[in-house]
Structure 1
């Protein structure tokens, strides 16, 4: 029996839809919607692909979605970050070795060498934390990436705060009859580093106990891709960790700026001011970029902020001292420092 038809059949990848007329033999063919396929002619409805699949270009069959994360195989920038992190870690180890070799010299003793040692170790560990952000996320890396960086970096910023307060106490104690004299002999800076970093450790422990980070598969942010990322679990504790770190940095910056005019021979406050200025600038610029990106690009933004802020602190605090140790060793003497102080 002949079939009445006033248009061609709908090919695979299309579905039938009414053209608004009275004749049922006349209809329109429209492409299947996003995420749907049709592998037969004149289909009235399209079949939706599963959450793990996506239509091919012709919308005839479902194909598996590709997994997307900051991969060593697909993303060259992962190798760039790895090289930069290792290079900065080697430089930090070299500075650490130079400070240990010159442990009893005046330039190393200035502003508490123990705190300087703690600061160098924390910067080194912060550089190495970058590797938790690279590669395919798994549960253990999601648990460690934010918490380890937050703790190590808070130890570093606490060390800078302790150095600044050490400068304040040392020069207040030079006045005759000052009540600050008894504080000079006490290990105030060591206690300060311990207390300030312990608060961050407490925040991270509560975070891991209440709502720990976990691996998340995002099927909807990008078409045809499954984003493998770390869900931070609790945004409140995540931003509490960042906020406390920012509070320590802001406090260090303010105190260092206030005492920056003290004699330069003993004073690291100028260098601390510059380092905290770099830190605050980087992380203030990072926050809107972090919130406006998704998937691996969020990770790229955070890694860049970590490397930049750590390198800024390392360069501002320790490169001037390293220059004296390696290039101008004649300046690394008590007599030279006292002469500069008199001038």
Structure 2
């Protein structure tokens, strides 16, 4: 069977076609339907949404949290936090129960997460409570059996307004930006509520920041930082209403401590390795039996003081002991 040259596509052309298909699928799903998408659209921010990672998604795949974080170019803890706050909107697939419960996300859930991440967080347009206000229009969806009593979400409101465009009065309202003025008004109301929170809430936030800064940037040892870390649990018990902020900083502090421990371990390993190299060098040039015995004792103590590194110490000795005189040291050390 013969093929026309024009029918043969390169790998790059196939990938590009796949990305364009995903773009069209997302636009079809969210354009004139999602209020968050409309915010990006009206601010000419769509390029921030249609990244290579987003366009490379498989419409039939389900992604776990760390994969979603990679696609959205953020940290896994951020994905977990935003999902917890906006679970009904993101609508992931849940599997398992209790501590073994996991979430999987199709391309629609991942794209919703991408929009949320871009509009919240440090230096972003909205806070999470403000975004909730935009999405839920003042009320989180409930499980009431009377559908007429369920609050109307902003997405639903937006869709209704789009359908009403055929009527002149609604067309005028859309074209005059009245819909988005109403959204801005609701955001302002939410902001005012946040500003009117009691001073005690401000004090709690200050405590959280102070504790995190002490762990992340203080000069205390890792052991002391681990003790300080336990204070997050105390804050959670004392201020349950602030659990979102406390858990967010607690997760970030835990990652900092893990990094500090890794750095401290690496520094200690390099120090021990350097000490061994110096001792072997001294042994190789020494002509005194007493001095060589002293060096062997030092190496033995070094191994005893670092039992978790015993294998590594012997491996380093084997690597460094290339010359005949040094091999004599290695055999004597192993025989002890």
Fold similarity call, TM over 0.5: no
- RCO higher in 1 or 2 (8 Å CA, sep ≥ 6)? 1
Structure richer in strand, relative to its length: 1
Superposition TM-score, scaled by structure 1 size: 0.21
Structure richer in helix, relative to its length: 2
Superposition TM-score, scaled by structure 2 size: 0.22
